[in-house]
Amino acid sequence: MSEAKLREELYGSFRNRGMIYYNMYKTLSAELGKEKAADLMQDAIYNRGVEQSKVLAGLDNKNVKALMEKFLSIIPDGGKMFGPEILNVEDDAVDIKFHRCPLKECWLEAGIPEDEVAELCRIAARVDNGLFEGAGFKFHAETWEPGRDGCCHLHLRPGD
């Protein structure tokens, strides 16, 4: 299989994941309300992040620089999929801005209203909380909002 075909399939799988999230959110919202739907999805997505935190096993939870290096090494398509920019690297703080997100892009391309896309971004970003917190680090994200350029801003901090 060619690299171009593999890349096309990789990005397509992320678009599919994005639309699965959207359809789950709409279905759960209709049954339970938007707040409960978001809560349930965030819990499930967070738990998946914790499961994925195994890829960070063995890192000293005080070493956010090592965490950054490992995390950047596992971003799909050599980092191109999310376009990370390192904004700050210190012993006790790493801040990364994503310039792209295939989930956000697919939702906007599907014509989903921006305020709903922002909610979906908040929901989907919980995977990163699970990933980093599951590995013993502190983490928070500023997810995309209408009018903001790029996507998420990730803030990695040493664990307790």
Tens of pLDDT along 140-156? 999 999 999 999 999 99
pLDDT at 51: 98
Which residue ranges make up each domain of the chain? 3-157
Quick check: pTM over 0.75?
yes
Asked whether residue 1 carries a pLDDT value surpassing 90, the answer given is no
Q: Which CATH superfamily is domain 3-157 in?
A: Trafficking protein particle complex subunit 3 (3.30.1380.20)
Tens of pLDDT along 103-143? 999 999 999 999 999 999 999 999 999 999 999 999 999 99
The DSSP code for 86 is E
Closest CA to 152 of 137, 139, 138: 139
Determine the Cα–Cα distance for residues 15 and 41; give it in Å rounded to an integer. 18
Alpha helices in the chain (DSSP H): 3-32, 34-52, 64-73, 102-109, 114-124, 126-134
